[in-house]
Structure 1
Amino acid sequence: MAASTSPADLSAALVLQPVAALDWLVILPAVWCIAIGALLMMIRHKGWLQPLIAVAALAVLVVLDAALLWHVAGSGPVTMVMGRWLPPFGIAFTADLTGALFALMSAVVAFAGAVAAIGDINASGRRYGFYPFLMLLMAGVSGAFLTGDVFNLYVWFEVLLISSFGLLVLGSEREQIDGAVKYGFLNLVATTLFLITTGYLYGIFGTLNMADIARKAPGLQTLAPLVTLTALYILAFSMKAAAFPLNFWLPASYHTPRIVVSALFAGLLTKVGIYGLIRICAMLFPAEREQLGLVLAVVAALTMLTGTLGALAQTDTRRLLGYLVISGIGAMLAGLALGGSDAIGGVIFYALHSMLVMTALYLAAGLAARLSGGFSLAGAGGLYRHHLLFTALSLMLFFAVSGLPPFSGFWPKVMLVKAAIDAGVSWLASILLLSGFLTMIATGRVFLLAYWRPVDAELAATPEPLDATALLPLMVLTALSVVIGLFPETLMNLAQQAASALSEPSAYLNSVFPAGGAP
């Protein structure tokens, strides 16, 4: 038989048209971070050059993510598939408003952390890889926020997890090794559960593409155990986000590394877990989330109370802040438990606020420790006498994390409380308000003891000036919190649009399957 000479029709399997220039923004954040991380590894012996390159690279990352957010806000979700294969066969990167917002805020936080690290990370820390680890951490974080594939979400989790191990043990002190063991063990358990559940997902759906799963899930609700699948994902991501009852690892480990590392962890890592929960609960399996709503609400309430009561019991500011991170996770879980566009919009807004403010609070705690000689509240005091600007910045951050106006924490708390009242779950609204009140007491106690309380002149430390690299990141992050609090409309509208797009993901699906279908 003669061989056919007709050309093969590749249009059913491959993308044939050239990629639009702006669409490359979808993958540039992760690629850029990996490339700069590799470069920093090659010049790791030139410690003086490392922070200059890293700070400049993270500034570029902020610009890239801002451009991506602008592109997505104007044109809708954008998809790029690796190897030109059409989805669901090719590995997809899909940026929507939710992913772009998270990616931009993470870049801002990382940039502030890199500037603060100039004064916090010594020559040994630079030589042993702080800045390469930071860039690879950001590659994992950016990839997790922008991937459109569940298995690759797991892969990017692994990238950021391995990088975080390196940052956590940097310095090799006994306390750091102890914290790394606790941090590593539970995160590895959560990652293993994530991988097993993803295998279960593939067995049910035959695909790992998020858009394809979202299309197929409604038709499988009576044919497959999707509630069990959703519960397993909630468990895995809740472990990573430090939700009750598996939150003990966070306050046991976040106080052990350098303070700038703790700041980055508080701002970024638990929020990746929250992002995973948003994807699973709001876009992929909303009906199953509704069935698990009461369980999520109870877990959220216990997480909030555990966090705030734990913070009240602490005398070490780093441990106290770790419990405040947990309390914020509980507030976000409350929004996920409620469901609906308004509540999910509150979750997104709260997550962005928490990334900003918790990073700033850890940086402020590091500066307070430098000025007072340690992190213990017992030996602190009198900071306002010599550092009025720093005291004012810290007080504004305490107000922000407590959810007081006119700062960034006020509006998402209002959105969540209103969503709870509208849903008829008044007890959850009460716990949201109670957690804010208890947070205000915990942070007020820190302010009274560490800043306002006078100290004996003979015991007072010699006043130390704060250089620009120490104060500037704190000033920028605090200013952003104030600006968001005073002018919340833009971010609130974006968060609500992002939530609506998750609840009705037709634009997301059309971005991945523009022809309306896939093989």
Structure 2
Amino acid sequence: MAVQGEIIDKTAAMIAAPVPAADWLVIAPVLLPILAGAVLLMIRHSVRWHAVLSVAVLAVLVGANGLLLRRVLAEGPVSMTMGSWLPPFGISFTVDALGAVFSLTASIVAVCCCVSSVRDVDATGRRYGFYPFLLLMMAGVSGAFLTGDVFNLYVWFEVFLISSFGLLILGSEKSQIDGATKYAILNLVGTTLFLIATGYLYGTFGTLNMADLATKAGQIGDAAPLMTLASLFLLAFAMKAAAFPVNFWLPASYHTPPAITGALFGGLLTKVGIYALLRILVMIFAVEGVALAGVIGWVAVATMLLGALGALAQSDIRRIAGFLVISGVGTMLAGIALGGNGGLSGAIFYALHSMPALSALYLLGGLVRQRGGSFSLHQLSGLYGASPFLTLLAFIISLAVAGLPPGSGLWPKVMLVRAALDSGAWQIAAAILLSGFLATIALGRVFILAFWRTEIAGVQAVAGGSMSIMGCCAVVILTLAMLAMGVMPEPFVRVSGTAASGLLDASSYVRAVFPGGGGS
């Protein structure tokens, strides 16, 4: 027991040296959008500046993420610990190839969506906070990708969920309120499970630092209920990622907001759930993740097929996109179930493809609505004659989403099918191919009805509206990114392989946090 008045020496637990200037780059992707969002709130009476400032900040965010990825690929994982306390007492931001490449891709999607919003978000949307909500959501998404602490991961989940609630109800239409209610309730259930699992994790290990956990989980053996913990995290993150059977909130909500909000949600939010599953079940609970691979595999098969069949049954372009988001989640889960460098790198590459592809599909739906007057296939026709440019964009995006050449979805599916056949998981290989075939039919149906069909009995063929130039530019940028992935896949295969290797062997991640070795 300490004597009253005794001075306790805490220097051994403190960071004495100043933080190198280059290490501030680790938290720049979080700090930039938070500060920019605060500035927008301070100038809330000058909403005409919100769009310009948001685009500029997100462009800088892309640059910061690009520099961070280049540093990580050159030097290995980088860590920065807050509050002068040594890890695991201080909260660490630890960036490896997986977090850096996810954060960079997310910021590229966000700046494209923000460019598209310049015309499409009206004065009311700006006045009620579209751009502060967008920046806060990006701070949460970036923080989730870059944090090295499980509780901090929970905090960033809460940050982007709160901001996504605001974006979802912006406009206050009846359908939006209905969709937001379902979205909020089911996500709060998932968040509660996440928090329970996090408390259970801390009670078991006495730490929430991911590097510390990765070291201790392999040493504790049967002395702790690790399978229970892994199962709780699997359920919580599967709900966040919209995996079967806890995916019904997504098709009930993602079609209700404007197309720009749907593009942000469809491209980014479910990928945070996939990222969390990769980080927890592969890097930390590696043994338990392998034991759960069979369950994850069948969940992946069900998610892929349900999403593809759901897309076939829809007539609203936004609903079709929502079900294709679910099908893509199943494809990424298949990579987690397969494991190994082949399966994991395929899942990571597919996530990098899915972010721009699904965002582009939602933004395309917005352009179709502007040009053709509706999201419904029952009311659309003649778009090929009305806009060959829009038709070309739709064709390329459809190829990418369906996994056909020269789109970006081909190579990750090839990687996953090869990994499935090599491991004897024929059902996963068959589901990947079948879901891709069904997605091709669903998107082909959109093409036939909305673009090639020339007239509808009793319905005006094309409303003849003008498309947003900024919206077209955003879709073109995302389409070029998808073509680059499809035509020149080698850099993306390489970075995905590096990220997968970092998950399978976390030694470099641990060394970045504990340079002297060991943990708490």
Same fold (TM over 0.5): yes
**Contact 1:282 1:344 (C-alpha < 8 Å) held by counterparts:** no
CA distance in 1, matches of 2:477, 2:115: 11
The aligned residue for residue 39 of structure 2 is 39
Instruction: Tell me whether 1:372 sits opposite 2:372 in the alignment.
Output: yes
- The reply on whether 1:431 has 2:412 as its aligned counterpart is no
**Percent of paired sites with the same residue:** 56
The yes-or-no answer on 1:418 pairing with 2:418 is yes
Partner of 2:90: 90
By how many angstroms is 1:341 displaced? 1.4
Q: Is the 8 A contact 1:98 1:499 kept in 2?
A: yes
**Deviation per residue, 1:301-320 (Å, 9 max, x gap):** 00001100000000111111
Q: Give how far 1:470 is off.
A: 1.7
Deviates further, 506-515 or 466-475: 466-475
Output aligned runs, 1:111-190, within 5 Å: 111-190=111-190
Alignment deviations for residues 359-387 of structure 1 (CA, whole Å, 9 cap, x no partner): 00000011101111111101101111121
CA contact (8 A) 2:13 2:85 kept: yes
| SS of residue paired to 1:93 | strand
Distance 2:48 2:307 in 1: 40
- Counterpart in the other structure of 1:513: 514
Deviates more, 1:386-395 or 1:104-113: 386-395
SS of residue paired to 2:251? helix
Distance 2:15 2:339 in 1: 36
C-alpha distance in 1 between matches for 2:460 and 2:318 = 23
Residue 114 of structure 1: how far off its partner (Å): 0.4
Q: Which residue pairs with 1:59 in the alignment? A: 59
State the alpha-carbon separation in 2 of the partners of residues 187 and 42 from structure 1: 30
CA distance in 2, matches of 1:237, 1:44: 35
Letter of the 1:162 partner, please give it: I
Superimposed CA distance per residue, residues 10-56 of structure 1 (whole angstroms, 9 cap, x where no aligned partner): 65212222222221111111111100001111112212111010010
User: How large is the Cα RMSD of the aligned pairs?
Assistant: 1.4
3-state SS in 2 of match to 1:331 = helix
Tell whether 2:250 aligns with 1:250. yes
1:493 aligns with 494
2:72 maps to which residue? 72
Q: Match of 2:390, as an amino acid?
A: F
1:263 aligned residue: 263
Q: 2:353, 2:408 within 8 Å by CA — same for their partners in 1?
A: yes
Q: How do residues 434-445 of structure 1 correspond to structure 2 at under 5 angstroms?
A: 434-445=434-445
Q: Which moved more, 1:9-18 or 1:330-339?
A: 9-18
**SS of alignment partner, residue 79 of structure 2:** strand
SS at match of 2:412: helix
Residue 26 of structure 2 corresponds to which residue in structure 1? 26
CA displacement, residues 56-83 of structure 1 (integer Å, 9 cap, x when unaligned): 0100000010011011111110000001
1:180 CA drift (Å): 0.4
| Partner residue in 1 for 2:339 | 339
**Tell me, what secondary structure is at the counterpart of 1:379?**
coil
| Equivalent pair of 2:386/2:462 in contact (CA under 8 Å) | no
- TM alignment of 1:473-488, pairs within 5 A: 473-488=474-489
Contact 1:382 1:451 in 2 (8 A): yes
Q: Equivalents in 2 of 1:14, 1:389: separation in Å? A: 60
What are the within-5 Å matches in structure 2 for residues 304-453 of structure 1? Answer: 304-453=304-453
**After alignment, is 207-216 or 17-26 more displaced?**
17-26
Q: Which residue does the alignment assign to 2:504?
A: 503
CA deviation digits over 1:155-178, x for unaligned, max 9? 000000000000000011111000
| Counterpart residue type for residue 506 of structure 1 | S
Partner of 2:286: 286
Partner AA of 2:107 in structure 1: A
1:124 & 1:463 partners in 2: Cα distance? Answer: 25
Whether 2:464 is the aligned partner of 1:466: answer no
Alpha-carbon distance, 1:8 to partner: 8.5
TM-score (norm 2): 0.97
User: Would you say how many aligned residue pairs link Structure 1 and Structure 2?
Assistant: 514
Write the letter of the residue equivalent to 2:501.
Answer: S
**1:498-519: per-residue Cα shift (whole Å, max 9, x none)?**
1001100110000000001234
C-alpha separation in 2, matches of 1:9 and 1:407:
60
How far apart, in 2, do the equivalents of 1:461 and 1:401 lie? 26
Conserved? CA contact 1:22–1:71, under 8 Å: no
Any idea what SS the aligned residue of 1:250 has?
Answer: coil
* Whole-angstrom CA distance in 2 between matches of 1:264 and 1:52: 18
Cα distance in 2 for partners of 1:244, 1:488 equals 30
Preserved CA contact (<8 Å) 2:87 2:514: yes
What per-residue deviation string (whole Å, max 9, x for no partner) do you get for residues 265-296 of structure 1? Answer: 00111000000001011100111011111110
- For structure 1, the 5+ residue unaligned runs are none
Q: Which ranges in structure 2 are unaligned for 5 or more consecutive residues?
A: none
SS in 1 for 2:59: helix
Cα deviation per residue 1:405-438 (whole Å; 9 max; x = unaligned)? Answer: 1111011111111111111111110111111010
Match for 1:319: what amino acid? R
Residue aligned with 2:94, SS = strand
- Indicate if the aligned counterparts of 2:381 and 2:456 stay in contact, CA closer than 8 A: no
Q: Secondary structure at the match of 1:196?
A: helix
Tell me the distance in 2 between the aligned counterparts of 1:324 and 1:119.
27
SS across alignment from 1:86: coil
Structure 1 residue 342: Cα displacement: 1.3
